[in-house]
Amino acid sequence: MDELVFEVAQEADGGFVAEGLTENIITQADTWEELRKNVIEAVKAFYFDSKAPGRIRLHLVRDEVLQSS
């Protein structure tokens, strides 16, 4: 596997949660920059005894409700 994809959701309080789509890796952070660092750390820890993927993709999912009137 050359790429590991995380689905990222923004929480109501403004923080972020990232969950790996193909591996059981979950991490969170208050800011986007902190999340990027936490994801890298989590991936390194998960693959501590094997080769980690060459790329990590963060896919931000945004859910927004709009009023039409």
pLDDT digits (tens, 9 = 90+) for 9-18: 999 888 999 9
Asked if the structure places residue 69 within a domain, the reply is no
What pLDDT is stored for residue 12 in this prediction?
Answer: 86
At 62 the pLDDT is 79
Does residue 56 lie within any of the structural domains?
Answer: yes
Residue 39 placed within a domain = yes
Domain count, the chain: 1
pLDDT confidence tier of residue 50, bands split at 50, 70 and 90: very high
Main-chain dihedrals φ then ψ at residue 66, nearest 5 degrees: -115, 145
Instruction: Quickly state the pLDDT bin for 5 (edges 50, 70, 90).
Output: very high
CB-based contacts of 51, cutoff 8 Å, min separation 6: none
CB 58 within 8 A of CB 43: no
Please determine, for residue 56, whether its predicted confidence score (pLDDT) is greater than 80.
yes
Q: 47 in a domain, yes or no?
A: yes
